[in-house]
Amino acid sequence: MERSDLERRALRAYERGRLRRALPWGLWAVGFTVAAAAVGAPFALPLGTLLAAWLVGFQWRGGELARGVVPGLAAGSIAFLAPVAWACQSGACTSACTTTCTAMAVASGGVGGLLLWNRVGSTSAVSALLVAATAGAMGCLALGTSGLVGVAAVVVAGAPAVLRRPAVA
């Protein structure tokens, strides 16, 4: 076996190992997808697939992108859980409660975005914002299209982290 063949095989084995280590992160997306589908959120499956791709891809790539996954999941969980809990209690939003739905989405999205702003550095903020916005969208859409305002709140409140100093340890 020549040296170049050996190097190629070693690199493939290394990348397969990194991918195997990253795949379990996709299970988070399964949980988000099942919960969103249970409350009737539209686009739960496509957004869940996108979330799984972000989570596995960022963890497989490693480095700063991987460092943004956990803060992104935390912020996205806030933006996801509050609207889902509201939809479960109120039986989903109707036109009569659009104001309440929008306020719920903005408040939970804003809290999630501020969490990102305080916890991530400029490089990892990109992956954190993508994960948080995708996860938050799954929950916010449970409130209807007015919930998309909550996703915008995540991005607006978390966007200054992209321009900020490196992350706090």
**Is residue 168, in this structure, part of any structural domain at all?**
no
**Is residue 169, in this structure, part of any structural domain at all?**
no
**Is residue 82, in this structure, part of any structural domain at all?**
yes
Give me the number of domains the chain comprises. Answer: 1
**Is residue 8, in this structure, part of any structural domain at all?**
yes
Distance CA 79, CA 111 (A): 8
User: Looking at residue 139, what is its pLDDT?
Assistant: 77
End-to-end CA, the chain: 46
**pLDDT tens track of the chain, all 169 residues?**
788 899 999 999 999 999 999 999 999 999 999 988 887 777 889 999 999 999 999 999 998 889 889 888 988 888 788 777 766 555 555 554 556 666 766 777 677 777 776 666 666 778 888 888 888 888 777 666 666 666 666 666 666 655 555 545 4
Provide the residue range defining the domain that includes 115. Answer: 3-163
The angle at the Cα of 89, spanning 85 to 95, to the nearest 5 degrees, equals 100
User: Looking at residue 52, what is its pLDDT?
Assistant: 96
